[in-house]
Amino acid sequence: MRANDAIAGLVLIVLSLAMIALTLSFPDFPGQKYGPALFPRILGVGLIGCGILLVHNGLVARRAGAAWVEVAPWVHEPWRLGSFLLVLAMLLLYIVASETIGFIPIALVFLGGLFLWLGVRPVTAVATALATTIAIHWFFGSMLRVPLPRGLLTNLL
Amino acid sequence: MDAILAAAGLVFDPFVLWVILAASAFGIFVGAMPGLTATMATALLVPVTFFMPPVPALGAIVAATAMAIFAGDIPAALLRIPGTPASAAYTDESYAMSKKGELDLNLGVNLVFSVIGGLAGVLILVLCAPALAEVAIHFSSFEYFWLALLGLTCAVFIATEQPLKGFASLLFGLAINCIGIDPAAGFPRFTFGSVELLQGISFIPAMIGMFAVSEILRGVIAVDEGGAVLVQKIGNIFVGVWDVWKRYWKNFIRGSAIGVLIGALPGAGADIAAWISYAVSKKFSKEPEKFGTGHIEGIVDATSANNSALGGAWIPALVFGIPGDSITAIVIGVLYMKGMNPGPTVFLQNPQFIYAVFIIFILANLLMLPLGWAAIKSGKQILRVPRNLLLPIILIFCVVGSYAMTNSVYGIIMMLVMGVIGWIMEEHGFPIAPAILGLVLGEMLEQNFMTSMIKSDGAFLTFFERPIAGTLGALTLLVWGAMLWRGWTARPAAVAAPPT
């Protein structure tokens, strides 16, 4: 998936304007005409400049026949699109649910789900998911003492 | 002398040596797997090294990256797929050699010249860095401001194909670095009331996202597309290497020199060093017509260059705190987290630490010979590891690594957001490295800029009054002028070119 440079440029311009607008409330250094707002404003102006040039390039390309949005071939293949979305979904699931469910169950779902979708044979998928989860839990949880969420297994661990 | 002994004491410790060995094996694996890069190896190592003292932490990164850059040559010869972007310049050449039945010679030359190229890079690093530090100790905020700006300028204009997009990427990195408490007045900016954003963008999760997660997103949509491994027995790889050395030792010197130079330039690293040295080799070769047909000459240049670039990149990183490539950008982030601000004062206050880095570099390059040999011998097995198992494992490692940096899901959120942004950027031809450089250098740039503004009472001309600052400033403006001129004159051609 690839948008025309003009769209990318427009997004940049809007974001930069928003950033500059936010700096309006920043205070100046006492007795000076500038303050914490100066640096972000300079960056914002630079980004707007880039945005304008990108819009220009994009429009030139558009006139030469480029599409507004070019869709990559893999988007039309359900399995590949699914792989892409599943990675994002699993990450979101981990963010939302890891604290309540705990690391071990969520990692098993995370790994097992991705393995199976990507075409790993079920036995291998389950075995590898288990082995990886235990190894990571041992390495990060026990060796490096990272407080991995316990969740449902609080009483067991 | 005391410092060198102290450094040796730090390095030759069983734990440190064990870490270096483990990191080397890890680096070889990551480097040899197509789609996993040396930068990604560093990003994945950081959460682990975070819990170590500085010397083993740096040892792990140095060893892993040196191995990864060499190991990238193995799939280039066997699969025609570079293991890391640093091998891309001569992948076709390597594969052509393999098809001609010269696989052994190719791998032998790649290994041996990677080792001595790496050592050449270290040699220059050892010779130059302390001398430069003596100069740098007199620098004030004006010099550092120009130095950071010049570094960022080089990163955009030399290291990227599309300077405009590189520049936008850099400004984006600098802009998101503004999130959090500002370095001059302590005012919270763009935090939207979030406590976590007060400390700014969490650097390591952001980098894991941009370098690793975006790569995984690209990887899963092509998980079943691998090349077929060349079926060829690997014999004694060292036969004939000596003859290549006798014939092409000048290429080795030229390649290593180019490598160190490109490596030391901020933003440009091993991959660009390989491309440029390969092109130079072809241009000055007596037999340029043989290039592309499985000719060893260009490989000697390029494989020496990409390993020497690693050492070169550490020169500005250690002396000025300005990273020479994306790997050292991560290293600088790690150093800041460990409370060791890179810069000339480290050379005075903790010289044993600098020498320890030198010793690790030499050790890692020597270690590359046996480990590289073993990796070549088991290359086919490494390449048989299925990617559909590997990618989810790396992903969960990224998740846990990011979590470990903040001990909260905030790290994972940061990783995911930056991963998606990184993926979108790459899809649209915006290079990621300038953004990371901006994220690393942003605070230094702004702090020195604001300090200088306050010192000079807002008069911008004061930025040019000190001799070195003035020279650096003029140089920066000159590069800007040259690039604008080039952009202006090249404009019609760029417009005529078909959109890619």
Q: Could you tell me the residue ranges of all domains in chain B?
A: 2-491
Place B347 in a pLDDT band, splitting at 50, 70 and 90: confident
Which residues of chain A register pLDDT less than 70? 155-157
CB contact under 8 A, B399 and A94: yes
Mean pLDDT for B308-335 is 89
pLDDT of residue B211: 85
Contact B399, B216 (CB under 8 A): no
A78/A149 same-domain check? yes
pLDDT of residue B80: 81
Position B498 pLDDT exceeds 50 = no
For residues B440 and B328, which has the higher predicted lDDT (pLDDT)?
B328
pLDDT of residue B493: 41
Mean pLDDT for B167-193 is 87
Query: Tokens representing B177?
Result: 């670095």
pLDDT of residue B231: 63
Place B267 in a pLDDT band, splitting at 50, 70 and 90: confident
Contact A66, A57 (CB under 8 A): no
Could you give the CA distance from residue A114 to residue B441 in angstroms, rounded to a whole number?
37
- Per cent of chain B over pLDDT 90 is 33
In this structure, how many other beta carbons lie within 10 angstroms of the beta carbon of residue B494? 12
Q: What is the pLDDT of residues B62-95, one digit of tens each?
A: 999 999 999 999 988 888 888 888 888 898 899 8
Q: Strands A69-70 and B180-181, how do they pair?
A: unpaired
Q: What is the pLDDT of residues B121-160, one digit of tens each?
A: 999 999 999 888 888 888 888 888 888 888 888 777 766 6
A49/A120 same-domain check? no
Q: Of all residues in chain B, what percent are helix, strand and coil, respectively (each to 5)?
A: 75, 0, 25
SS3 state of residue A9: helix
pLDDT of residue B63: 94
Q: Which residue of A has its CA nearest to B172?
A: A47
Give residues with Cβ within 8 angstroms of B372, minimum separation 6. B28, B67, B70, B71, B111, B114, B115
Give residues with Cβ within 8 angstroms of B393, minimum separation 6. A111, A128, A132
Could you give the CA distance from residue B302 to residue B293 in angstroms, rounded to a whole number?
16
In this structure, how many other beta carbons lie within 10 angstroms of the beta carbon of residue A48? 20
| Most B CBs within 10 Å, among A83, A92, A98, to test the B interface | A83
pTM: 0.85
pLDDT of residue B81: 80
Could you give the CA distance from residue B150 to residue B153 in angstroms, rounded to a whole number?
5
Position B496 pLDDT exceeds 50 = no
A88/A105 same-domain check? yes
B296-320 in b/e burial notation, b at 16+ Cβ within 10 A? bbbbbbbbbbbbbbbbbbbbbbbbb
Residues 248-287 of chain B with CB under 8 A from chain A are: none
Q: For the residues of B183-199, what is the DSSP string, one character each?
A: TTT--EES-TT-HHHHT
A27/A64 same-domain check? yes
Contact B325, B42 (CB under 8 A): no
pLDDT of residue A49: 92
For residues A153 and B18, which has the higher predicted lDDT (pLDDT)?
B18
CB contact under 8 A, B404 and A29: no
A45 vs A6, A35, B98, CA distance in Å?
18, 16, 52
Q: How many residues does chain B have?
A: 500
Place B227 in a pLDDT band, splitting at 50, 70 and 90: low
Contacts of A2 in chain B (CB under 8 A): 427-428
> Is B493 near chain A, with CB under 8 Å?
no
Could you give the CA distance from residue B471 to residue B222 in angstroms, rounded to a whole number?
49
Contact B436, B214 (CB under 8 A): no
Average pLDDT value over all residues in chain B:
86
Report the range of poorest mean pLDDT among A109-113, B72-76, B236-240, B248-252: B236-240
A61/A11 same-domain check? yes
pLDDT of residue B455: 85
Query: Tokens representing B355?
Result: 């020498």
Report the range of poorest mean pLDDT among B128-142, B224-238, B344-358: B224-238
A95/A118 same-domain check? yes
Domain count, chain A: 2
- Per cent of chain B over pLDDT 70 is 95
Could you give the CA distance from residue A137 to residue A134 in angstroms, rounded to a whole number?
5
Could you give the ipTM of this predicted complex? 0.93
pLDDT of residue B487: 65
Could you give the CA distance from residue B327 to residue B61 in angstroms, rounded to a whole number?
9
Q: Hey, what long-range contacts does B192-197 have (CB within 8 A, 24 or more apart)?
A: B196/B406, B196/B408, B196/B410
A57/A79 same-domain check? no
pLDDT of residue A81: 94
Mean pLDDT for B185-193 is 84
State the virtual CA torsion across B73, B78, B79, B84 in degrees, nearest 10: -10
Mean pLDDT for B271-285 is 89
Query: Tokens representing B157?
Result: 């204009």
Residues 196-215 of chain B with CB under 8 A from chain A are: 213
| Most A CBs within 10 Å, among B196, B391, B428, to test the A interface | B428
Place B365 in a pLDDT band, splitting at 50, 70 and 90: very high
Structural domain harbouring A145: 74-153
pLDDT of residue B230: 63
Q: What is the pLDDT of residues B393-409, one digit of tens each?
A: 999 999 998 998 888 89
A40/A87 same-domain check? no
SS3 state of residue B231: coil
